[in-house]
Structure formats: structure tokens, C-alpha cells
Structure 1
Amino acid sequence: MSIFSKIIAGEIPSYKIAENDRFYAFLDIFPLAEGHTLVVPKKEVDKIFDVDDADLAELLLFAKPIAKAIEASFKCDRVGIATIGLEVPHAHLHLVPINSADDLNFTRPKLKLTEEQMKAAQQKILQHLNKQSA
């Protein structure tokens, strides 16, 4: 069972952003930027292109309002998307607020945010996400 499956099951705490019956989104605890969010299918599949076609398409549609909420929450030109998948054998998307291509450089040192900063980032995104659905 991957660490992401344990997070989805509630065995490991997370800063949840959104969830439905097939997908789960939460803040990356080792972010490239404040607001860096992971979007994962609940069904554990190692590689992104091994996710079945319907779930892969729905994953992007699930991520879209989250990306828009991130963009509205943090000073950035856009939200970049990356699928690296080397650290955790569970398909996932990285949604990262960016101002340049280098902002998606995963070899850079990650931020060390406090619990208060993580909760504040979570609340910002949730507020904008809730505005979209209202």
C-alpha cells in the first residue's frame, strides 16, 4: 500500500483540498511553492499512463477547479502541472503555482513550511474552491 493510499484511507493525516469517490487532492508536505497540491486517483496504479482512460480524463477534470483555486490564491502567472512519479509508486499530478518554467524544477530544495503556513495555504485554496462551486 502506497503512502498516498494510506493518506486517502485516513491512516496518515493530510491537508485535504478536495475529494470525490475516485480522486483525492491534498497539499504536498514538501512543496516547490506554497499551494503545491497533489491530485491522485484513489485506485492505486503506479504509472500515470497505466491509469485507465476514463479515470485519466476525469483526473484532469477533477484537477481543473483546484488549479483555478490555486491560481486565485497565490501570486503566480499560472499553475503548472507535472507528473514525475519517481518518489511514490502511485500515479499523481503535481499542481504548482509558477512564474517561470524553472519553478517546476524538482531538483530544487523544497520549502519547509510550518503547520500554520500549511493550514493557511489550505484555507486560501478551499475559500477559492468554494467560491467556484457557489
Structure 2
Amino acid sequence: MSSIFTKIINGEIPAYKIAEDDHFIAFLDAMPLVKGHTLVIPKKEIDLIFDLDSEEYKNLWSFAQDVAKKVKNAIPCVRIGVAVVGLEVPHAHIHLIPLNRVEDMNFKNERLKLSVEEYTEIQNSIINS
């Protein structure tokens, strides 16, 4: 079940990586709702998040928690919203979305179009937070 996320994991297409270990990776969303919108995924190819075994599931959320704290420290926001939708890419993933208002998490909103410089600045601020 290869997806665009598998290509990111394999380094076949670029991504603005925030964090990575042997099992998980976090990177900026290519079509963000707000600045700092980050995706956290397992490197294991699995479509549904609830199909991860219990240990992988717990470890994914622990990894996401660490990433969310870094995003919160770097991006001015009230809190980090969390969503697991899974309809757009058939690979388990968690959306971490900096929120200042409820509407920031509406997936019907127009997506931001950021420049390479903006992505790089956001990436660096999160990594260095």
C-alpha cells in the first residue's frame, strides 16, 4: 500500500521534516490549514491508525506529543489541535494544527500557499524550539 507518505519516508520526494526516529516521522503539511500544520506518521505502511498494534499506537502518540510541544513552542497559538482523518492519503497519520480559533481546524478552509522560504523558516523554528 505505497502512498505519497512512503515516498517521503524513502526520501524519493522532499518534505520539510520536523522530527524522525526509526519508527516515525513528522513533517510540515504540503497543503497546510495554518502555519505549522504538521503531519506525524508511522514509517510502517498501514492505512488505518487503529490497525497499529497497541505498542506502535502508544509510541506514535508519544512521538506526536513530543512534536506537538515543539510546534507549540515555535508557532504562536493558543493550543495544538489534533485530528485523525485519514481520507486523503491511505497511510495512518495525525494532524497537529496550531489553533487560535476553532475555525483554524476546518478542513474545508482554503489551504495556505507558502513559499520555500516560509516553509524553511517554520521548519527551522520548530526544530530549534
TM range (shorter): over 0.9
Q: CA deviation at 1:80?
A: 0.6
* Residues 75-127 of structure 1, C-alpha deviations (whole Å, 9 max, x = no match): 11000110111010000000010012221111111000000000000000000
SS at match of 1:67: helix
Please give the alpha-carbon distance, in whole angstroms, between the structure 2 residues aligned to 1:54 and 1:44. 16
In structure 2, the partner of 1:25 is 26
Equivalent positions of 1:11-50 (< 5 A) are 11-50=12-51
Q: CA deviation at 1:61?
A: 0.5
Please give the alpha-carbon distance, in whole angstroms, between the structure 2 residues aligned to 1:122 and 1:89. 25
Please give the alpha-carbon distance, in whole angstroms, between the structure 2 residues aligned to 1:18 and 1:72. 15
Bigger drift between 115-124 and 47-56 goes to 47-56
SS at match of 1:29: coil
2:106 maps to 1:119 = no
In structure 1, the partner of 2:110 is 109
Please give the alpha-carbon distance, in whole angstroms, between the structure 2 residues aligned to 1:9 and 1:72. 29
Please give the alpha-carbon distance, in whole angstroms, between the structure 1 residues aligned to 2:55 and 2:5. 21
Please give the alpha-carbon distance, in whole angstroms, between the structure 1 residues aligned to 2:116 and 2:66. 24
Bigger drift between 45-54 and 22-31 goes to 45-54
Equivalent positions of 1:1-134 (< 5 A) are 1-128=2-129
TM-score (norm 2): 0.96
* Residues 23-55 of structure 1, C-alpha deviations (whole Å, 9 max, x = no match): 011000100111111000000111111111111
SS at match of 1:64: helix
SS at match of 2:82: strand
Please give the alpha-carbon distance, in whole angstroms, between the structure 1 residues aligned to 2:19 and 2:71. 12
Moved over 3 A (4+): none
RMSD, aligned α-carbons = 0.7
